[in-house]
Structure 1
């Protein structure tokens, strides 16, 4: 019986070390057959390890991420066995180049990043991951209706005007440690899926967006007056940072 297909959520959970052994094996077999996906996962693992190494309070128990990266590297570099005709020599070569670039990935630390992102970033990433799950569930109806004036009247939350071509697909008011927060799932003009998280908070955050990897996703965070924002997605931090800067420069609705 063929194994269940690997979902994007399971790949995120794999990076976070939250899968059981059976599904971890399924994800690793999927990555062995798809060097592009493997390269992205290895970048996620390497960036997470680099950020943890940069933190003074680095917990050695988190080193399992580095072990996972090493296992994935060894698996990709191993010559394919006969029962795996889908793993061609060309793909094996791409995988080898990916493995060779791991040292560069691990050395990445976002410019201007603090030792630890603000606490609300964790809520923003969780909201993004939940939004991805909602999008794949027929029983969870997405609500694309977004009235900035109504939101501001009810919650005093303001969000930047969306760039041209960005389409709202779901809007939710959710609880957070900072109080009620607004989460907006968006399809960008180039068909990327991102989440905008906005909450009134006194937490320290930069006025100009800073992008990093957190919890298996990329997140750019900043503040404007009493509002704290985060833009979360699956792109590399530098790509998300450009989108966040575009968003942060827009006037508040």
Structure 2
């Protein structure tokens, strides 16, 4: 038996394989006796795997040549003398420089390009897919406001986005509204509506007003890791429909969403 209650932090550490064998055994014993926690841990694992699959292509990209060169080319010694240890210290300094460039470069890019520029650099499909894999596996609270309070949800999101937004009706295609939530965008709020079918398969519609005037307005498809996404721009809105289902099935739903939104 476990000698203390298992905390949420310990459950996350279990998912991240960050526990000792003894501690892991204690958590597994707890999960065997608490099905609700076991279900939540399973959702955390699915979320972790989805995020890994989504970002793995970026992690596998080679270091740009201009940065790689810094790690192999000698740095110029200061005037009046060199570094102690010669080449070893030069390479340590170069390595630190590369590590620093990652963080500082991101901050400088934020200041140089601004939120609208960043919104154009990051595809709408990727933003939507990240939001999908973060929230769709959540067992207890996948949305902030449920479908039973749809009118309140619509008023709240419309007020926060500064324009009227409403979730499409997809019951005819087998998908019912779960609810929705407010998400942080690059420079303001973004809305996410969530749906599910009879099997529990979840689908999300990401709605943004950021940088839409500078995005390609065509109806497009993207595969972001384990997530398929159809996305498009219509007037001042950008939409992205995401799900881990077949492209053809998602296309049918995306077409229905597009048609409904066009009628408004």
**TM-score normalized with structure 1 length:** 0.51
Number of equivalenced pairs: 160
Quote the residue 1:129 is aligned against: 133
1:153, distance to aligned residue in structure 2 (A):
4.2
1:23-102 to 2 correspondences below 5 Å: 59-60=61-62
Change (3 A) 1:128 1:198: same
**TM-score normalized with structure 2 length:** 0.49
What SS does the corresponding residue of 2:145 show, helix, strand or coil? coil
1:102-251 to 2 correspondences below 5 Å: 119-133=123-137, 135-137=138-140, 142-144=144-146, 145-147=149-151, 148-155=154-161, 156-159=163-166, 161-164=168-171, 165-177=174-186, 179-188=188-197, 191-200=200-209, 201-208=212-219, 210-251=220-261
* Greater RCO (CA < 8 Å, at least 6 residues apart): 1
Change (3 A) 1:214 1:14: same
Which has the greater radius of gyration?
2
In 1, Cα distance between equivalents of 2:55 and 2:122 = 22
1:118–1:204 Cα contact (<8 Å) kept: no
> 1:191-233, CA deviations, whole angstroms, 9 ceiling, x for partnerless residues?
531011001132413343x222014311110111111000011
Residues 1:10 and 2:48 are matched in the alignment: yes
In 2, Cα distance between equivalents of 1:221 and 1:181 = 15
1:246, distance to aligned residue in structure 2 (A):
1.3
What is the aligned-residue RMSD (CA, Å)? 3.6
Change (3 A) 1:10 1:174: closer
In 1, Cα distance between equivalents of 2:165 and 2:143 = 24
**Structure richer in helix, relative to its length:** 2
What SS does the corresponding residue of 2:213 show, helix, strand or coil? coil
In 1, Cα distance between equivalents of 2:125 and 2:256 = 19
Quote the residue 1:74 is aligned against: none
1:59, distance to aligned residue in structure 2 (A):
4.6
